[in-house]
Amino acid sequence: MPYITTKDGTEIYYKDWGNKNGAVVTFSHGWPLNSDNWENQMYFLASQGYRVIAHDRRGHGRSSQPWEGNNLDQYADDLAELFDHLDLKDIMMVGHSTGGGEVARYCGRHGTSRVSKAVLVSSIPPLMLKTDKNPGGLSIEVFNSFRDATKKDRAQFSIDVPTGPFFGFNREGAKLSQGLIWSWWQQAMMCSFIGYYDCIKAFSETDCTEDLKKMDIPVLLLHGTDDQVVPIGASAREGIKILPNGKLKEYPGGPHALPNIHIEEINQDLLDFLRS
């Protein structure tokens, strides 16, 4: 399996599928999952002739489980090392949830010289936490409850999240997929405890406002109007006001897990944006 070793000795696992001479699309996953969660989109675009690359963030999946560096700055720096190692250019970066914050922070810290476009799906920017300047965010008590549940019974919490709000299976009329729940649980339990715990702070308290301002490339925001994890009002609808060249598409009634629940529509939106 392909890995790179970062400057601080962390091994980052990545997948590199499709046409090695094709246009490059990279995928950044959400908390506390790994690159497997993008398999539908990766297979679809690779089958269309693109080169698709997705990594497991440090502390997640098959990557190392370091005690340090479980924050958005380091996640972005790890991604920069991967891009440099593979010498990727003209990339379309795609990020879901925390991965969208990773994409924004990469552009904020490392610029867009290697990036042509970006897609933020159900993503955390600009800021999830409720503050005086961000009154539409979620209170710190919400994220403290995540931390408490992690320490009390991480395994059960990792069943409760996908059974309920992540996929929207707690909504009346939702068609529950036990397979998706098991997949989420498996990926979550592959995550290190410290990576799982620290990433809660990373996705909830990191302000990506300045990163969005520096994204001087076309950016597509895809977000469900019934996202119970990253509510659209304080995320995509605020982010579109900040981005220099952004476009927002709302999925009516869509849950947080758009890549898993609205597979065909997400695939087509990514392909159309690539070709635009």
Q: What tokens does 102 get? A: 């990773």
Q: How far apart are the first and last CA of the chain?
A: 33
Known catalytic residue at 227: yes
Determine the Cα–Cα distance for residues 16 and 99; give it in Å rounded to an integer: 18
Which residue of the set 56, 78, 211, 227 is catalytic?
227
Catalytic residue, from 97, 122, 158, 235: name it: 97
60 is catalytic: no
256 is catalytic: yes
Name the catalytic one among 96, 256, 262, 269.
256
d(CA 4, CA 64): 11
Distance from C-alpha of 148 to C-alpha of 151, rounded to nearest angstrom: 5
Instruction: Please choose, from the candidates 275, 214, 212, the residue with its C-alpha nearest in 3D space to the C-alpha of residue 248.
Output: 212
Report CA dihedral (235, 239, 241, 245) to the nearest 10 degrees: -150
Rounded to 5°, the CA angle 209-225-190 comes to 70
The residues carrying an active-site annotation are 97, 227, 256
